[in-house]
Chain A
């Protein structure tokens, strides 16, 4: 029983990284109609930048995170402004192919700049140590991650529900032409949304640096799970992405515990089932 509870908590912390990755992916799809294959690469870049600022250059942990968000936002801006923007109205296949090309470029680029060896940076001192949960040691940092994830989820929700920018974004998502007609600069808005999605992904990567390996391919490993989450939750649906991330995160934690051989398989199966029964996702319309 304790093991289950403990593993659930582990799953919860994993779910937060997945949520941050999936949130950006689903927002970008909901508003721009683009499925960004390279979204995981932005996650990876977030980790690499944070590692560089914090782990290599000794910058303050919080500042390092902020700087890495800015850096990745710039990368996201470049991707959208100079490449994706030109193929919005075309077959989805070309978007997938283009963003796939980005994965190839970014994956090798990090190898060139940072070398191919996995990095394990140091833990910031105020998060060191463990807490006793059901009699077992649970890292403090993971509790921070769970808290941070929930905090960001609330912030994002407030952003889209209560702010003027959020309202513009939602209007553009549901009717692009109309939004343009009432004076919203769609191009700029789209670039902004894409950059916002990139920031969320980067946050996930950056926050993970002290506890997770920083290596090429970490984004690619998670992007598929992020897809699965967005499918389960409904493409474009933030609430769904959060719930989906909780499901996938805890399932993979339990899967590793209970069905070690097939936990990957299990998650894919869930997605296939959701797609067959309710293709718009559990929260989709």
Chain B
């Protein structure tokens, strides 16, 4: 299947500051790709290159086979975009915004009424100046303007920011419907559950570089195991010698550890030698898996330095090589 979004060695620098470096990524038609990374990782820079607001320092961007800058007028009618920090004209009403942006889009807006209804933007809301809107209402308006013309490609930067849980449910339904209708969705976020919920694949960026592209299911399988050990009352924590690489945290007599799945069996054998009264093993949350990716990517970077590599770097670092999909 042809890639709808194709980034090849995309690099954007601001003077000496790196926005994004050598990013290779492809998104296929009908796919919902999560683009994950902490603030400052280069997510918004990448997206702005994809919609033609920024010109790449090097590399190429193709969306629907078109260059976002050279083919701007041909590409943009087919794209719906929600910026990460949505800024609106405070004195204009919601309805005026939707009319204005719809007119500029140059396409009919067949979904406007339906989207307003589903996202609970009433006629009364739309008649008020947006300076009176809450953050969540502005975000809902942003979603409507991005989707009202039923675009082929939807690019959303932190879309659920400020949305209440009920509206978030509607948002996930909209994304799912878009995917089923063959639309391609590129969803940037720093909130892992959001990506887990909406996407099949996730690309993780850190410090301007692609860390990995993984299926969400694979990321879930690879996540660490959380081990909880309970010690008898009065037991001295200082006598429990566990490795710092397992991120030990004490809560009363309970010790919590995060252990990589490849090491869980030998780790448990060692831990059972301790005077524990209870032991539980469970899958860590996806958030923790996400953080582990960063930790081990950092460890990988350190391992390239002339010193001993940190624990756990190898199995995770193999996936963490930039450009790997």
Do A and B come from the same complex? no
Residues of A within 8 A of B (CB): none
Residues of B within 8 A of A (CB): none
